[in-house]
Chains A and B, each alone.
Chain A
Amino acid sequence: MNAYLSQVKAIVWKDFVTEFKTRELFSSMFVFAILVMLIFIFSINLSVVGANQVGPGILWVAILFAGTLGLNRSFTLEKENGCLQGLMLAPVDRSAIYFGKMLSNLSFLLIMETFLLPVFMIFFNVDIGSHLGPLLIVVFMGTLGFSALGTLLSSLSSNLKTREIMLPILLYPLIVPIAIGSVRMTGQILDGKSLADMMNWVGLILCFDIIFISVSIMTIDHILEE
């Protein structure tokens, strides 16, 4: 078990060092997310439509779109110089590779969201300070499911020539339950409701998080093989 955790940790560490040196992923995800929000802000009259009604949807569209950029890069990095093959040669459980990459993607997205939420607050003039705790829980649950499924599909599409196109085509239909749940919960939190008032949505997102992680562990062996 210790060796397994060391391997997962080493993969996360390697991705962080690479990102720290290149700063390609975080900057591109963050700038893209802000651009998405800006486009919506300029196209919507917030004095007519309440920010609490449209804001959560726009926030999650920005997170999902920007996250897809990161996911696309995730396994492309492993393909450069045949590094994924090098990893496959090592006595590493394939699920350790999955968990390492998934935790890296999750961490990058959470860091990006930490910077994005204050920008969202300013752009939409909403007070998230008083709902920060529940909002962070919702953001974490939604991002976990997105990273879990996205990492699996990123590993699958990384072998394809059209991977940049295939990843969103595969990912967006499957992520719909988590996306709807996250948008609804974020809206209700901004309206002042507590998590206890929306346990059905919490249950739904947690359920899909568990399903996506379980399916990934069961299938990653076959996906990474050959």
Chain B
Amino acid sequence: MTESKPSPNPGPAIQVQGIRKHFGHLEALRGIDFELKKGEFLSLFGPNGAGKTTLIGILSALTRPSSGTATVAGYDVKEADPEMRREIGVISHASFLYADLSPLENIRFYATMYGVDQAEERAIEVIDEVGLKPRMHDRVRTFSRGMLQRLSIARAIVHNPSILFLDEPYTGLDQHASEILKEQLQALHTDQRTILMTTHDFSRGLEMCDRVAIMVRGKLALWETVSNIDPAGFERQYLETVEQAKELR
């Protein structure tokens, strides 16, 4: 994998203070605070509806927070600065890929959108990195879920971002595809990219991360370094944390 470009901004890669988000009467986020240093990998666990995707939406400047502040690569997410957008890549359960275009056409298109120099060459380079070069002229519509997710990685890193947001990237993947995705995420982490990943998969989530968080009903119920977590007992710890957080509400 290509090494990420060094971020020009000193300080933490992600800083979140008192972020809240309302959708009408529903309070999706109820005051989130955390800080992630450059190069750190955070695995964020939580039940469905906990607010994980909303948090990623806010940090990637797709959704505006109702209150609170958040900076990503030193930029205020409310400003949605184009420079901030160049610093982040997002991999979601939706691929963001045009089904009737080929991988090369898709990635070259996104490279142009991000203002990447020599878009075609860069597109071929990242497609090769995710092992899809032999199929780069086929229609994306013919791809399996695993191949789509690998191509999503190529799309997300084509502009060489320093921060990656992964929203349940393992969803719908079989064991083989999960293993390939894991190897690619490991390579991205080795390149000193800051990564925030939401997942329901405990073993996948714990094996690569530096920090672990559990989110329940719009609040962080646990924030720990991975060295303080016992992988064997994490499922029980998770269930207890979720139950306690629900009772406290």
Contacts and interface: CB of A to CB of B under 8 A. Distances in A.
Interface of A: 3, 6-7, 10, 13-14, 17-18, 21-22, 77, 80-83, 85-92, 225-226
25 contacts: A10-B109, A10-B113, A18-B98, A18-B101, A21-B139, A22-B100, A80-B98, A80-B99, A81-B95, A81-B96, A82-B95, A83-B96, A85-B94, A87-B113, A89-B90, A89-B96, A90-B85, A90-B110, A90-B114, A91-B83, A91-B85, A91-B113, A91-B114, A92-B113, A226-B63
Contacts of A80: 98-99
Q: Which of A77, A82, A86, A225 has the most CB of B within 10 A?
A: A86
Given A10-B112, A10-B113, A21-B139, A89 B85 contact: yes
A86 to B, nearest CB: 3
A86 B91 CA distance: 10
Q: Which of A17, A77, A90 has the most CB of B within 10 A?
A: A90
Given A90-B113, A226-B63, A226-B64, A14 B101 contact: yes
Shortest 4 CB-CB contacts between residues of A and residues of B: A86-B96, A82-B94, A91-B82, A90-B113
B113 A85 contact: no
Main secondary structure on A side of the interface with B: helix
Nearest to B88: A89
A81 B62 contact: no
Given A10-B109, A17-B105, A21-B139, A88 B62 contact: yes
B50 to A, nearest CB: 20
A191 B85 CA distance: 56
Contact of A81 (B83, B97, B112, B139): B97
B43 interface: no
A82 B85 contact: no
A74 B92 CA distance: 23
Main secondary structure on B side of the interface with A: loop
Contacts of A18: 98, 100-101
A86 B112 contact: no
B96 A82 contact: yes
B68 interface: no
Given A85-B94, A86-B96, A17 B62 contact: no
B189 to A, nearest CB: 21
Given A82-B94, A82-B95, A85-B62, 17 more contacts: A6-B115, A10-B113, A13-B109, A18-B101, A21-B100, A82-B92, A83-B96, A85-B94, A86-B110, A86-B155, A88-B62, A89-B90, A90-B113, A90-B114, A91-B82, A91-B113, A226-B62
Nearest to A84: B96
A86 B112 CA distance: 13
A19 to B, nearest CB: 9
B68 to A, nearest CB: 17
A97 to B, nearest CB: 10
A80 B98 CA distance: 7
B86 interface: yes
A225 B112 CA distance: 22
Contacts of B88: 89
Contacts of B115: 3, 6, 91
Nearest to B94: A82
B192 to A, nearest CB: 22
Nearest to A22: B100
Nearest to B92: A82
Nearest to B159: A90
A14 to B, nearest CB: 5
Nearest to B86: A91
B76 to A, nearest CB: 15
A138 to B, nearest CB: 34
